Amino acid sequence: MTDPNTPELLLQKIKALEERLAEQESLWEKDRIAAEYHRRFLQFIPYPVLIRNARGVITYLNPAFTQTFGWTPEELKGTLGRQYIPAHLQSELVKKIQALPPSRNILKLSTRRLTKTGQVLDVVVRIGIDRDEDLKPAGMIMVFRDVTMEKRIDRNQAAINRISQALPQYPELPRLVEYISNEIKELLGTLGANVMLLDEKAEEFYVLGMAHDDPTTRERVRKTRFPVDELLSGQVVKSGKPLIMNYLPEESQDTFENRDKKIGYRVKNVMVVPLHSNTRIIGVISADNKKEGTFDQTDLKTLSTIAATVALSIENARVSEELKKANEELKSLNAAKDKMISHLSHELRTPVAVLLSSIKVLSRKLADLPQGTWHPLLERMQRNLKRLIDIEDQVYDILEKKSFHHTPVFGLIFDECADMIEALIAEETGESGVGQKVRQTLEKIYSTPDQTAVLVQLHQFVDDRVQALRPLFSHRQVNLTTRLEPVPDIRIPVEPLQKVVDGLIRNAVENTPDGCGIQVQVHEKGRHVELVVHDQGIGLTPEAQKRIFEGFFTTQETLQYSSKTPFDFNAGGKGADLLRMKIFSERYNFKISMTSKRCSRLPDAADRCPGSRTACEKKPGPACDGSTRVSVLFSLPGGSESPHGVTSA
């Protein structure tokens, strides 16, 4: 029997073993190289990587993990890694893996992890799970991505967009400031936040609204004013630069303690940014006592962006509040002025009426003397007393819509006194006519007539008024023409309509030089009836056109003002006619408007017209091209459109 282990066969086996050994060594080398590449890759990859075995023990963590979380391999390897997981999330990963179907080996999780310094990071974890033959977890590799900054940026941008869109909903300053403070508090995760405005005159900060966890503190801070030098905010206002203090300096503890006593809590860290409005700083926005971690540059950029976004709205709201206060004060002063004018107007009636009556008596007593010695004097007195009566009448019409009418009690007393006076006169003189005349005079002076709207043919009414007024300016060389078309009736009280028509014609005549024309028109215009008074007078300056409907505003300079006979050129009106017409327009629902061109020879209000076109044209200069057109638009009864208000162009 031959031996199978011949040298040849042994050599062949040895050679086969050597080849297998070389092949295995090659595989080991490849594995070593692959492991080295894998190790280098894990060290190079910028994302934190952590490897756990089947028991959950950490066997590896890469440098990126240490760089992100601060934990070193020596601190975590061989442990379950509980120290970097928040307490309320310790069992989260185990439950997620247990709920994962055996056929799935990849898990993605959004969670939070702790750094070595205690900072909480938002992370996204991608987990690859190795399974054994029974499909049970045999180990895992975990790749982390820190999304804390991404979430903060997204959250900050969303908050800024939300704030910018919500600003118009808070026109009132206290509500606006409170809204902004609450948004900052929630966004930055602080105990308190507030907007402090600067009182430049008093050199103090005041808080109209703040956000704080404690309602008592909110109320206390709202009621407190802080000197500029007492707060860090004062430094920000002076420097114009934002400020972060995560640790307050010990040398300023006394100042900070006084501040903390005022606000009722201790400020541990604070961030302050200025509120810029144009070229000045109107206040600051501050946030204090951050609940997690400390303030950083991202917080500062966020708060600075919010400050830039809301500064204009805060300034506008503050100006609006100041305007409201000024308006209320103006209303109060205006009411007091109206009350005084109304009182003086009523007080003026009696002495003026007595003076007019006395002049009549005096004229009868002087009848035997030559008329030339006394008549001009009495005529001048009557004319000026008539002007006082006109002023009182205009003031009454202007103030009639105010709450200064005689009360019913006054009316009752007046009626009783009038009855008694009438009875006494009849008893003493035996003439009832005298008593009735006295009563009628008293009623004319003191009674408040009711204005009842009636149907009026405007074209006929205007024609009647023109004819009634012509004799009053017959001494003037003014050509007044009419173009009065038949129009439907309008509904309006007669007395205010007469004051409007007479006033427009008188103003036109008094502002038109001799040799120029005036045209009065009445015609239909759509669903309305229009009255137009168009004169070729001197016109109004642009400034006068802006203010012509204000009360007691005259178009002449004060030094040129003179009290002439009505309808004289530049007779010196009292400046109340157009204001009275404006009030009538609001009360009786018509529209009055004016367009005017100032004469090229009289560009300034101080320039004087000689009062005659002929005299004016003798002097070199541009053409006499002034004009004024006043339009009064009345609604037809039952019309759907109602003109209202006053315009001046």
Q: How many helices (H) and strands (E) does the chain have?
A: 18, 19
Largest CA distance in the chain: 192
pLDDT band at 445 (very low <50, low <70, confident <90, very high): low
Per-residue pLDDT reduced to its tens digit, 306-340: 888 888 888 888 888 888 888 888 877 777 676 66
Rounded distance between C-alpha atoms, residue 47 and residue 142, angstroms: 10
Residue-wise DSSP of 430-485: S-HHHHHHHHHHHHHHH-------EEE-HHHHHHHHHHHHGGGGTTS--EEEEEE-
Q: What is the pLDDT of residue 406?
A: 41
pLDDT band at 487 (very low <50, low <70, confident <90, very high): very high
Joined together, the tokens standing for residue 259 give 């501040």
In this prediction, residues 54-66 reach a mean pLDDT of 89
Helix/strand/coil for 206:
strand
Q: What is the pLDDT of residue 632?
A: 94
The answer to whether domain 454-648 has CATH 3.40.50.2300 is no
AA letter at 131: R
The edge-to-edge listing of strands for the beta sheet with 137-146 is 58-61, 49-53, 137-146, 120-131, 106-114
So what's the architecture of 45-146 in CATH? 2-Layer Sandwich (3.30)
Indicate whether 428 pLDDT > 80: no
In this prediction, residues 586-608 reach a mean pLDDT of 86
Scan for tokens 């114009």, then name that residue.
Answer: 240
**Cβ atoms 632, 530 nearer than 8 A:** yes
Cα→Cα distances 34→40, 61, 129, Å:
10, 18, 20
Q: What is the CATH number of domain 152-325?
A: 3.30.450.40
**pTM of the entire structure?**
0.48
The edge-to-edge listing of strands for the beta sheet with 517-525 is 479-484, 517-525, 528-535, 627-635, 590-597, 646-648
Q: What is the pLDDT of residue 646?
A: 40
Residues 6 or more apart from 112 whose CB is under 8 A from it? 86, 89, 120, 121, 122, 123
Per-residue pLDDT reduced to its tens digit, 194-246: 888 888 888 888 888 788 888 888 888 877 888 887 788 888 888 888 988 88
Task: Rank 62-66, 540-544, 621-625 by mean pLDDT and report only the highest.
Answer: 62-66
Cα→Cα distances 534→208, 516, 608, 628, Å:
56, 11, 21, 6
Q: What is the pLDDT of residue 514?
A: 92
Residue 252: how many other CB atoms lie within 10 Å? 12
Q: Any idea which of 47-61, 248-262, 579-593 has the lowest mean pLDDT? A: 248-262
Residues 6 or more apart from 294 whose CB is under 8 A from it? 246, 269
In this prediction, residues 420-448 reach a mean pLDDT of 63
Indicate whether 398 pLDDT > 50: yes
Q: Which residue has the higher pLDDT, 65 or 417?
A: 65
In this prediction, residues 533-539 reach a mean pLDDT of 92
Rounded distance between C-alpha atoms, residue 421 and residue 540, angstroms: 51
Q: What is the pLDDT of residue 209?
A: 79
Q: What is the pLDDT of residue 126?
A: 93
Q: What is the pLDDT of residue 172?
A: 82
Rounded distance between C-alpha atoms, residue 174 and residue 170, angstroms: 9
Rounded distance between C-alpha atoms, residue 407 and residue 194, angstroms: 52
Q: What is the mean pLDDT of the chain?
A: 80
**Cβ atoms 212, 221 nearer than 8 A:** yes
Indicate whether 574 pLDDT > 80: no
User: What is the distance, to the nearest Å, from the Cα of residue 503 to the centroid of all Cα atoms in its chain?
Assistant: 39
Rounded distance between C-alpha atoms, residue 310 and residue 304, angstroms: 10
Q: What is the pLDDT of residue 198?
A: 87
**What's the sign of the alpha-carbon dihedral 78, 84, 88, 94?**
negative
Q: What is the pLDDT of residue 245?
A: 86
Joined together, the tokens standing for residue 515 give 């040799």
In this prediction, residues 500-522 reach a mean pLDDT of 93
